[in-house]
Chains A and B, each alone.
Chain A
Amino acid sequence: MSFPGLINSWAAMALMMIGFYAVIAHGNLVKKVIGLNIFQAAVFIFYISMAKVRGGTAPILGDNLTLFSNPLPHVLILTAIVVGVATTALGLSLVVRIRDTYGTIEDEEIRAIEAAE
C-alpha cells in the first residue's frame, strides 16, 4: 500500500484519540466539552473522506460528469453535525448551571465540595 494510502483514516483516528484524551484527562468541564467536539469532528472527517472518490464530482447531472463521490455519508454527517451542535449547547449550558451552583468548573474542586457535603 503506497503513500498516502489510508492517511485519511490515520488522521481521523489520531484526531479522535486527541479528543478522547482531552475528555478523559482534563479536569476543566469546558475543556471536556471541547475534547468531545474534537472527538466528534474526527468522526465527521472519517465519514466524509470515506465517501470521497478521487477525481469524482458532486453528484449532480451535467455534461461529461461520470464519476461521482458518494453523497450519502456526507448527508449523514450533516445530521451528525446537528446532533453535535445540540450536544455542545446542552453540555455548555449545564456547565453554566454548574458554575452558578458550585462556583467552579474544575472537576476536582467539584468533587471536593461534594465530598464535604
Chain B
Amino acid sequence: MIVGQLPILQVIVPLLAAPICAILPFRRLTWLIALAASLLALAIALTLLDQVLSDGPISYLLGDWAAPWGIEYRVDPLAAFLLVIVSALGSVIMLFAPTSVAREIADDRIFLFHAMYLLNLAGLLGMVVTGDVFNLFVFLEISSLSSYVMISLGQSRRALTAAFQYLIMGTVGATFYVIGVGMMYMMTGTLNMADLGTRLPAVAETRTIIAAMAFVVVGIGLKLAMVPLHFWLPNAYAYAPTVVSAFLAATATKVAVYVLLRLVFTVFGGPAMVGLPVDQVLLVLGIVAMFGASAVAIFQTDAKRLLAYSSLAQIGYMVLGISFLTATGLTATIIHLFNHALMKGALFLVLGCVFLRVGSVQISQMAGLGRRMPWTMAAFVVGGLSLIGVPLTVGFVSKWYLIQAALEKGWWLVAVLILLSSLLAMIYVWRIIEVAYFRAPGDDVLQIREAPVMMLIPVWILAAGNVYFGINAQQTIGAAQSAAAVLLGSGG
C-alpha cells in the first residue's frame, strides 16, 4: 500500500524532518536527521525511477481529487531521473557536511542550517514531482526562501548582501512566473501541466498567451541564472558556506532547468510551439553564456567565484540543448543535468576541503597544494577534466551528445562554438591546477595536512562517479533518452 504513496512521501519526508530539526538545538542529532531524510528520499527516488522505467509514468492525485481540478503529482522518467539526481547529491553532500559546516557556520546556527537544508530539499523535490503549475510556484518559493537563508549563513558579511540581492531577484522571478501562470489560467481555465498542454494550442496565437510565455520564461530564467539574468549567482555562490554552494550548484539550477524543460515541452508543446520563438531566444542566450561566462571565469581570483561563472557557462550548454528541440538535443541537456551535478558537486566539495585546511579559497593561496593535499587536489583534477569534457569523463558524454545534436540540425557553426568554448574551460581549470601543482608552496602551506577521511570519501564518491558514468554511460544515457522521448511525445 505504501508503494502507492511514494510520490507524496518523496516530498513529505524532508518537509516534516525540517521543523523537527528546527526545534532540536543539537547539531549532531539534527545532522543525523538530515542525513537520514536525504537517504530515505534517495531510496524513494530510486524506487520511483525503477517503477517508472518498467511500468510507465505514475500519476498521484493529492487527496484523491480528480486530475485537472485537484493537484496531480506526476512522475515520468524525466522527473524520476531528476529526483534521483537531487536526492543523491543531497545525501553525498550531507555526508560531507559536518566538518565543513562546523568550520564555516556558527555553532548555535548549525541545527537551523540543517532545517533549512531539508526545507530546500523538500522544495526542490516538490518542484520536480508536481504536475501543477501553481503548486510548482509554492515549492519554488519554499526552496528559494530557504536558500536565501542558507546563503546568508556565510562567514563574510557580503553573504548578507548576496542573499539580499538574490532575494530581490528571486522574488521578482517567481512573481513573473505567477503573472504568466495567471494569464495562462485566464485563457484556459486550468493549472494542470498536461491539461494546459492540450488546451494552449487553441489560444496560442493570442497576445495574452504570448505575454504569458514571455513572463514565465523570464521568471524561470531568473531562477536558472540564464545569462543575462544571472547577476545574483556569482556572489551567492562565492559567499555562501561551501556546502551550500555545492548543494545549490549541484541541485537548484538543475531543477530550474527541469522546470524550463517542462514548460517548453509539456506546456508550450515543444517543436509544435507557436507564439513566442522561445527556442531561438534560448539558442542565442545559451551561446552567449557559454562564451561570456567562461571568459569571465578565466579572470577570477577566487576559486569559488570561478566555479560560479563556470556554472553559468554550463547552464548555457543545457539551455542550448533545449533550444534544438530535438531528441538528441534533449538527451544532451538531460544527461548534462546529471553530469554537471557530479562535476560541480565534486569541485565545490574539494573547495570545502581546501577552505577547511587553508582558510581561504583564493587561487593564489593554493600554491603547492597538490603535494600537501594530494587526494583532495587529485579529485579537483578529475572534476576539472570532466568540466572541460575530456574523454572517459562524464563531461565528454554531454559534449558528445550536444555536438551530435548540433550536427543533426546541420548547425556546423554551433558545433564549432561548443568545441571552442571547451577550450575556455581548459584555461580556467588549468589556472588552478597550475597553481596547485607547479608553484612552490609558501611557508604557511607547508603546515597543511590532508583533509579528513570523512570528507574525502564523499568527494571521491562524486569524483569516481565522474569517471564511472563517463566510461559506463549506458544507464544514464538510457534514462535520459527515455526521458527525452516522453517529453517529445507529450509535446505532439
* A29 at the binding interface (Cβ < 8 Å): yes
Q: B182 to chain A: which residues have CB within 8 Å? A: 43, 46-47, 50, 73
Instruction: Find out whether the CB atom of B178 lies under 8 angstroms from the CB atom of A97.
Output: no
What 1/0 mask marks residues of chain A from 20 to 60 whose CB sits below 8 Å from any chain B CB? 10010000010010001001100100110010000000000
Given A32-B168, A46-B179, A47-B182, also A79-B160 (CB < 8 A): no
Measured in the bound complex, the distance between the Cα atoms of B185 and A73 in whole Å is 9
Instruction: Find out whether the CB atom of B171 lies under 8 angstroms from the CB atom of A94.
Output: no
Measured in the bound complex, the distance between the Cα atoms of B172 and A90 in whole Å is 15
* B148 at the binding interface (Cβ < 8 Å): yes
Instruction: Find out whether the CB atom of A90 lies under 8 angstroms from the CB atom of B149.
Output: yes
Chain A contact residues (Cβ within 8 angstroms of B): what range?
20 to 34
Instruction: Find out whether the CB atom of A43 lies under 8 angstroms from the CB atom of B164.
Output: no
Measured in the bound complex, the distance between the Cα atoms of B158 and A114 in whole Å is 8
Measured in the bound complex, the distance between the Cα atoms of B158 and A90 in whole Å is 17
Q: B163 to chain A: which residues have CB within 8 Å? A: 94
Measured in the bound complex, the distance between the Cα atoms of B134 and A80 in whole Å is 10
Query: Contacting A36 at CB < 8 Å: which of B149, B152, B168?
Result: B168
* A95 at the binding interface (Cβ < 8 Å): yes
* A76 at the binding interface (Cβ < 8 Å): yes
Given A43-B182, A114-B158, also A29-B164 (CB < 8 A): yes
Instruction: Find out whether the CB atom of A98 lies under 8 angstroms from the CB atom of B161.
Output: yes
Among B147-173, those with CB < 8 Å from A are 148-149, 152, 157-158, 160-161, 163-164, 167-168, 171-172
Among A73-103, those with CB < 8 Å from B are 73, 76, 79-80, 83, 86-87, 90-91, 94-95, 97-98, 101-102
Most A-side CB within 10 Å, residue of B158, B160, B185, B186: B160
Instruction: Find out whether the CB atom of A43 lies under 8 angstroms from the CB atom of B138.
Output: no
Give the shortest distance, in Å, between A16 (CB) and chain B (any CB). Answer: 8
Given A94-B148, A114-B158, also A40-B175 (CB < 8 A): yes
Give the shortest distance, in Å, between B83 (CB) and chain A (any CB). Answer: 24
Instruction: Find out whether the CB atom of B172 lies under 8 angstroms from the CB atom of A97.
Output: no
Measured in the bound complex, the distance between the Cα atoms of B157 and A80 in whole Å is 30
Instruction: Find out whether the CB atom of B160 lies under 8 angstroms from the CB atom of A97.
Output: yes
Q: A94 to chain B: which residues have CB within 8 Å? A: 148, 152, 160, 163-164, 167
Instruction: Find out whether the CB atom of B148 lies under 8 angstroms from the CB atom of A83.
Output: no
Q: B450 to chain A: which residues have CB within 8 Å? A: none
Measured in the bound complex, the distance between the Cα atoms of B182 and A40 in whole Å is 13
* A18 at the binding interface (Cβ < 8 Å): no
Q: A90 to chain B: which residues have CB within 8 Å? A: 145, 148-149, 167
Measured in the bound complex, the distance between the Cα atoms of B158 and A47 in whole Å is 37
Measured in the bound complex, the distance between the Cα atoms of B182 and A43 in whole Å is 9
Q: Decide if the interface of chain A is mainly helix, strand, loop or mixed.
A: helix
Q: A36 to chain B: which residues have CB within 8 Å? A: 168, 171-172
> Which of chain B's residues has its CB closest to A46's CB?
B182
Give the shortest distance, in Å, between A79 (CB) and chain B (any CB). Answer: 6
Q: B141 to chain A: which residues have CB within 8 Å? A: 83, 86-87
Q: A23 to chain B: which residues have CB within 8 Å? A: 168, 172
Given A43-B178, A90-B148, also A76-B134 (CB < 8 A): yes
Instruction: Find out whether the CB atom of B179 lies under 8 angstroms from the CB atom of A43.
Output: yes
Instruction: Find out whether the CB atom of A79 lies under 8 angstroms from the CB atom of B138.
Output: yes
Instruction: Find out whether the CB atom of B175 lies under 8 angstroms from the CB atom of A86.
Output: no
Q: A80 to chain B: which residues have CB within 8 Å? A: 137, 178
> Which of chain A's residues has its CB closest to B138's CB?
A79
Give the shortest distance, in Å, between B199 (CB) and chain A (any CB). Answer: 15
Instruction: Find out whether the CB atom of B160 lies under 8 angstroms from the CB atom of A101.
Output: yes
Most B-side CB within 10 Å, residue of A46, A87, A110: A87
Measured in the bound complex, the distance between the Cα atoms of B167 and A46 in whole Å is 23
Instruction: Find out whether the CB atom of A86 lies under 8 angstroms from the CB atom of B178.
Output: no
Give the shortest distance, in Å, between B139 (CB) and chain A (any CB). Answer: 11
Q: A47 to chain B: which residues have CB within 8 Å? A: 182
Instruction: Find out whether the CB atom of A95 lies under 8 angstroms from the CB atom of B168.
Output: no
Most A-side CB within 10 Å, residue of B134, B141, B149, B168: B168
Task: Give me the 3 closest cross-chain CB pairs, A-B, nearest first.
Answer: A101-B157, A83-B141, A94-B164
- The interface of chain A, by Cβ under 8 A from chain B, is 16, 20, 23, 29, 32, 36, 39-40, 43, 46-47, 50, 72-73, 76, 79-80, 83, 86-87, 90-91, 94-95, 97-98, 101-102, 110, 114
Known: A91-B164, A98-B157. 9 other contacts (CB 8 A): A16-B179, A39-B175, A46-B179, A47-B182, A87-B141, A87-B171, A91-B171, A94-B164, A97-B152
30 A-B pairs within 8 Å (CB atoms) are namely A16-B179, A23-B168, A23-B172, A36-B172, A39-B175, A40-B175, A43-B182, A46-B179, A46-B182, A47-B182, A50-B182, A50-B185, A72-B185, A73-B182, A79-B134, A79-B138, A83-B137, A86-B141, A86-B145, A87-B167, A90-B149, A90-B167, A91-B167, A94-B148, A94-B152, A94-B167, A101-B160, A102-B157, A110-B161, A114-B158
